[in-house]
Amino acid sequence: MLEISPYCIPRTFSTGLECLLFTHTSIIEEISIPWRYSGWSFTWKTEKQGFTILELLLAIFIFGVVVSVVYGSYSATFRVVNSTEKRMATATKAQTVLVRISEDLASLVQGDGRLFTGEQDGDEGARADSLSFITAAHIGLTKRDNLAGYAVINYSAEEDEDSGLLQLYRSDMPLLPGGEENDVEAVKYLLCDGLKEVKFAYFDDDAVESEEWQSGETEFAGGQQSYPVMVKIVLQFAESIESDQGPLFTTSVALPVYDG
């Protein structure tokens, strides 16, 4: 700091100031001004000030708005990602089920005394149908399973006690030599869950749709057993039992022609 005795500086400043008068008590601090006279550099005494409450509140408000916008975009993005992943997982499950049933039906074994039974169960919009038939597409799930010969395939939908939705099971029981069924109860394997409806429909030679089918009840002319020419499979998924809408997957399988 520098004390300056009273004196007057002639007007030589480009700013047009007439005179700068200082007393012996004047104290020069902190802030320099660009005016110079005879090599002297002067400073001006000012008061130091901080932010006001209004300025702080305004800054906090702007910060809150920015954070809200960023968080909203972040949350929306993750909701879309999670929803897409769920839909992809559901589509994968549906594809697995439809491919498995289609391959079993494509290897259907027909002929006198061969089983083909489709039963309707449940109400419309919440069907839990079942389907049984003989196929050559036997799948061995353990090393002890015999892959040779035919097998009785059964698809059944059962209610899940926890969610109330349906679970689709598949059982595979090999036939004994001579075409007789094994006395051992077939083991059921869970094929799919989270289903609201499992529906099978059957079409005959005249494209007439039936909700049920019994191979021993319908016969061709000449006494041969009748089989549907096409089977339609409908799977509807849902997040909960109260959901009215959900992803719907369907396919139709043309059965092999029996000429025996």
Q: Which residue has the higher pLDDT, 195 or 4?
A: 195
**207/230 Cα distance (integer angstroms):** 9
- With a pLDDT cut of 90, the percent of the chain lying above it is 29
Residues 97 and 226 both lie in one domain: yes
Give me the number of domains the chain comprises: 2
Kindly report the length of the chain.
260
**97/237 Cα distance (integer angstroms):** 12
pTM: 0.66
Residues 17 and 116 both lie in one domain: no
Residues 5 and 106 both lie in one domain: no
| Count of other CB atoms within 10 angstroms of residue 239 | 15
**170/233 Cα distance (integer angstroms):** 15
Closest Cα partner for 197 from 249, 245, 236?
236
Residue 196 within a domain: yes
Q: In 3-state terms, the chain is what percent helix, strand and coil (to 5)?
A: 20, 35, 45
Residues 121 and 238 both lie in one domain: yes
Residues 38 and 131 both lie in one domain: no
- Write the pLDDT tens digit of every residue in 107-165: 888 876 678 899 998 876 688 999 999 888 777 656 666 666 788 899 999 998 888 89
Residues 136 and 36 both lie in one domain: no
What's the average model confidence in pLDDT over 7-21? 42
How confident is the model at residue 125, as a pLDDT? Answer: 66
User: Domain range holding 21?
Assistant: 1-49
Assigned token pair, 200: 């099978």
Residues 129 and 243 both lie in one domain: yes
Residues 125 and 14 both lie in one domain: no
Measured CA angle at 166 (ends 215, 89), to 5 deg: 110
Residues 144 and 198 both lie in one domain: yes
Residues 42 and 87 both lie in one domain: no
pLDDT band (50, 70, 90) for residue 2: very low
How confident is the model at residue 137, as a pLDDT? Answer: 76
